[in-house]
């Protein structure tokens, strides 16, 4: 198939493959690009499996991202394919990379990332036995900004998407002292189910907004804007347990849903429950069972969050009907101010190798936060 080194013999449905990671080579719009494919042991070439695209953060790479996210382990357990692509920009450390996100960076050497993702999707659907209606995506930090832009630019390939410390709803623009998503820079093809994670102590992509020029508006603002883009009705349902706040919008157009996890002590690191937390929780559950504690006394969600596991559960319940429906951009209207800006850095290299509505003010009153030279 001239594409996946090591899996070329697959050529779509009909041939099984040994489980494991394979190098991926993609002829994109402007260069031959690379990535990694993980094939689970349940892959037979007869049954079409789901796919999850896993986008790495800045100063990382596909293997480093899989180590961080554990999507390959979740895929082996649940029987789906994982594709981890590699951004075109060189990272700050040997062997690391970053994404050339439109409206974010003007770094030299960046290639057409949107074209790369589109080409990779076409190739994976052609060359592996996968279900084109069950292709999902997950992005961490810079990878989530890339995923946000891809969906905002009108591509409807993904049935649902997840974001870890990275959700955006368009380029930031300042209107009379407040930063908000520019509605002109985010026009998704349809309502899409999303799950997003954020840490209130994240100094790289700050929860309240600020940080680098490409960030500026905060997590609540991004969630609120997506609720408008998805046509959600009513307010989010909010529940907090043990420093973890879970929010959901369950009534959105086309069956889409929005879910969020906010960690009071969360930083920019990928959230992972500790072994101690799991043991304590298991003991508590056992004691609750022995004591026959009423289920009404338990929280409706598990605060021991591992994003990949939780996103996979969410993806399986994502909208499966009327996927071709088109979502009109949410109407522009004046709203409450967003969080004020602060400054920060983005240390994505840990594994190297406030709501507001959309904008109605005239453009001359705006100041754009896009295009920061050298930003990752």
Instruction: Provide the β-strand partners of residue 4.
Output: 24
User: What does the pLDDT average to over 313-325?
Assistant: 63
Pick the CATH number of 4-271+306-368 from 3.60.20.10, 3.40.50.1820, 3.40.50.20, 3.30.360.10: 3.40.50.1820
Q: Is pLDDT at 59 greater than 90 in this prediction?
A: yes
Q: Is pLDDT at 119 greater than 60 in this prediction?
A: yes
8-state DSSP, 233 = -
The alpha carbon dihedral of 117, 133, 317, 79 has a sign of negative
**Which DSSP helix (H) or strand (E) runs through 310?**
helix 307-316
8-state DSSP, 216 = B
Structure tokens at 25: 């080579």
Q: Is pLDDT at 38 greater than 50 in this prediction?
A: yes
The gap from C-alpha 188 to its chain's centroid, in whole angstroms, comes to 15
Distance CA(51)–CA(175), nearest Å, equals 40
Q: Which of 16-20, 176-180, 282-286, 351-355 has the lowest mean pLDDT?
A: 351-355
Q: Residue 70: which region, alpha, beta or left (left: phi > 0; alpha: psi -120 to 50)?
A: left
Structure tokens at 138: 């997950």
For the chain, which residues make up each domain, given as ranges?
4-271+306-368
Instruction: Provide the β-strand partners of residue 98.
Output: 89
- Given this model, what pLDDT does residue 376 score? 55
What percentage of the chain's residues is helix, strand, coil (to nearest 5)?
25, 25, 50
- Per-residue confidence at 301, pLDDT binned at 50, 70, 90? confident
Note whether 37 and 83 are within 8 A (CB).
yes
- Given this model, what pLDDT does residue 357 score? 36
Note whether 308 and 69 are within 8 A (CB).
yes
- Given this model, what pLDDT does residue 71 score? 98
User: What does the pLDDT average to over 38-46?
Assistant: 96
SS3 of 147, please? helix
Note whether 137 and 49 are within 8 A (CB).
no
- Per-residue confidence at 200, pLDDT binned at 50, 70, 90? very high
Distance CA(366)–CA(72), nearest Å, equals 43
Structure tokens at 333: 């209207």
User: What does the pLDDT average to over 277-306?
Assistant: 55
Angle of CA points 314, 304, 345, to nearest 5°: 85
User: What does the pLDDT average to over 73-93?
Assistant: 97
Chain segment 132-163, per-residue pLDDT in tens: 999 999 999 999 999 999 999 999 999 999 99
115 vs 327 pLDDT, higher one: 115
Note whether 214 and 372 are within 8 A (CB).
yes
- Given this model, what pLDDT does residue 341 score? 33
**Which DSSP helix (H) or strand (E) runs through 84?**
strand 81-85
- Name which of 36, 91, 39 is nearest 67 in CA terms: 36
Distance CA(29)–CA(170), nearest Å, equals 24
Distance CA(338)–CA(156), nearest Å, equals 29
Distance CA(18)–CA(58), nearest Å, equals 31
- Of the CA atoms within 13 Å of residue 245, those in its CB half-sphere come to 14
User: What does the pLDDT average to over 211-238?
Assistant: 96
| Long-range pairs for 169-172: beta carbons < 8 A, 24 or more residues apart | 169/221, 169/222, 169/225, 169/226, 169/229, 170/225, 171/103, 171/104, 171/214, 171/368, 171/369, 171/370, 172/213, 172/214, 172/215, 172/216, 172/217, 172/368, 172/369, 172/370
Chain segment 234-285, per-residue pLDDT in tens: 999 999 998 999 999 999 999 999 999 999 999 999 998 765 444 334 444 4
User: What does the pLDDT average to over 120-139?
Assistant: 97
What interhelical angle do 113-127 and 142-152 show, nearest 10?
A: 80
């Amino acid at each position: 198939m001239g594409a996946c080194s090591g899996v070329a013999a697959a050529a779509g449905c009909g041939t099984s493959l040994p489980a494991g990671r394979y190098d991926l080579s993609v002829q994109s719009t402007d260069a031959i690009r690379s990535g990694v494919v993980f094939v689970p042991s349940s892959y037979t070439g007869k049954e079409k499996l789901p796919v999850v695209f896993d986008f790495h953060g800045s100063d990382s790479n596909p293997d480093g991202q899989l180590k961080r996210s554990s999507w390959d382990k979740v895929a082996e357990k649940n029987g789906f394919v994982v594709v981890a692509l590699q951004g075109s920009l060189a990272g700050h450390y040997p062997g690391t990379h970053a994404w050339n996100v439109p409206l974010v960076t003007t770094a030299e050497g960046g290639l057409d990332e949107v074209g790369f993702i589109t080409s990779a999707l076409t190739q994976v659907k052609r060359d592996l036995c996968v279900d084109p209606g069950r292709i999902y995506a997950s992005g961490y930090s810079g990878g989530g900004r890339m995923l946000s832009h891809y969906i905002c630019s009108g591509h409807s390939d993904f049935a649902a998407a997840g974001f870890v410390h990275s959700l955006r709803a368009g380029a930031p623009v300042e209107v009379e002292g407040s930063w908000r998503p520019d509605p002109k820079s985010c026009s998704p093809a349809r309502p899409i189910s999303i799950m997003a994670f954020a840490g209130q102590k994240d100094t790289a992509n700050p929860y309240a907004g600020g940080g680098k020029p490409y960030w500026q508006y905060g997590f609540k603002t991004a969630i609120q804007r997506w609720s408008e883009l998805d046509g959600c009705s009513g307010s989010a349902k909010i529940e907090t347990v043990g420093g973890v706040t879970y929010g959901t919008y369950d009534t959105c157009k086309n069956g889409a849903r929005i879910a969020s996890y906010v960690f009071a002590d969360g930083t920019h690191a990928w959230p992972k429950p500790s072994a101690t937390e799991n043991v304590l929780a298991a003991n508590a559950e056992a004691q609750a069972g022995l004591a026959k504690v009423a289920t009404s006394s338990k929280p409706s969600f598990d605060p021991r969050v591992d994003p990949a596991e939780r996103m996979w559960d969410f993806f399986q319940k994502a909208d499966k009907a009327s996927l071709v429906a088109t979502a009109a951009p949410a109407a522009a209207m004046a709203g409450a101010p967003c969080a004020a800006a602060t400054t920060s850095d983005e240390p994505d290299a840990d594994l190297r190798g406030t709501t507001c509505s959309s904008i109605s003010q005239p453009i001359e009153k705006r100041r754009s936060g896009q295009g920061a030279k050298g930003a990752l």
